[in-house]
Amino acid sequence: MTRVAVLYGGLSPERDVSLNTGKACGAALTAEGFDVVMIDMTTDLMTHLREAEPDVIFNALHGEWGEDGRVQGVLDLYGKPYTHSGVMASALAMDKQRAKAVLSDAGITVPQGKLVAREKLREGHPLPPPYVIKPNAQGSSVGVFMVEAGEDGPPLEIIDMDDMGEQVLVEPFIKGRELTVAVMDGKALAVTEIIPAEGWYDYEAKYADGGSRHVVPAQIPDEITHLCMRWAEKAHIALGCRGLSRADLFYAPDGHYPAAANFQEKNSDVNAALTDIVNKVIMLEVNTQPGMTATSLAPEQAIHTGLSFNQLCRWIVEDATWPR
């Protein structure tokens, strides 16, 4: 019987999300007949792995020391097959600003923005409001601040928030319909529209009961669906992702986003007449460790294609390799 160590919990602000992911995946893998060992990740991870002696490691961690390349380095050192992306893709996707440079070079439209030292926020608005301030290397909408038009300046409490990182990412506030696309083994599954109960898709909307509604497949024009799925696949490849990833995008049906300057060069297969449609889509980021409960976004899309949650977890284990 294959022994699978499920890494969950961990050290990041996304610990609670990871606990839910790990418990759901552990239960699914047990139901699929695997010998499952649950490991709440600590700095003694290597000791825990040696004690568990798994055949495969299922990475159900989120955030720092989970999807930023560091735990992947430990798993490479351990030398057994593990799931999801490897060191380089994980580190690159987690660094939002560097990831945007790679995605833009692949011809994908991404938000403009810049990194700003937290202390510099004392000097006033880093961008004309409205804009968003967020950590450059966190997920799950942790530590995201919205600065509305008319406000005197950015929230100065950010200056004392060391967990935001030495530099924060500042981007113009982007309006549009919130879409997401899961990619499994390089193939996009579907497009989901996320409709928050109120406001925007923040941490509360993601994880509170009734915080948001998911529509899969998204009720959008076919050409927008095709573009979102194509870009998600391109992003998965450009960043070097493995296994399961998820790309988050916005769609502006009544407006447009500024296309990447090299759009035509990098998208020579797209008819110039479609440029206006393309300009209605923008990619925010790629998540190499999507949330994994039966009602999470990526599993919902797998279920939509006919793959149960348990089957998805089994596939993730069977896809595991070393090195990644």
248 as an active site residue: the answer is yes
Contacts of residues 114-117 at CB distance under 8 Å and 24 or more positions apart, as own/partner, are 114/169, 114/170, 115/167, 115/168, 115/169, 115/170, 116/167, 116/168, 116/169, 116/170, 117/166, 117/167
Instruction: Compute the distance between CA of residue 183 and CA of residue 320 in angstroms, rounded to an integer.
Output: 16
Residue 53 known to be catalytic: no
**Which 3 state secondary structure label does DSSP give 152?**
coil
- Find, among 197, 195, 182, 93, the residue nearest to 139 by Cα: 93
Instruction: Please confirm, yes or no, whether 14 is among the known catalytic residues.
Output: yes
Catalytic annotation, pick one of 66, 248, 267, 324 = 248
State the catalytic residue, choosing from 113, 171, 291, 324.
Answer: 291
Active-site annotation holder among 78, 201, 203, 207: 207
Selected catalytic residue, list 285, 296, 300, 314: 285
DSSP run (H or E) holding 137: none
Which member of 136, 212, 287, 296 is catalytic?
A: 287
Can 291 be counted among the known catalytic residues? yes
94 and 110 Cβ atoms separated by less than 8 Å: no
Integer Cα distance of 151 and 218 in angstroms:
34
* Cβ neighbours, 10 Å, residue 64: 21
Give me the catalytic one of 18, 90, 104, 140: 140
- 245-255 core/surface letters (b: 16 or more CB in 10 A; e: else): bbbbbbbeeee
The catalytic residue among 14, 68, 171, 178 is: 14
Establish whether 207 is a catalytic residue: yes
For residue 20, indicate whether it is catalytic. no
Catalytic residues: 14, 140, 207, 246, 248, 285, 287, 291
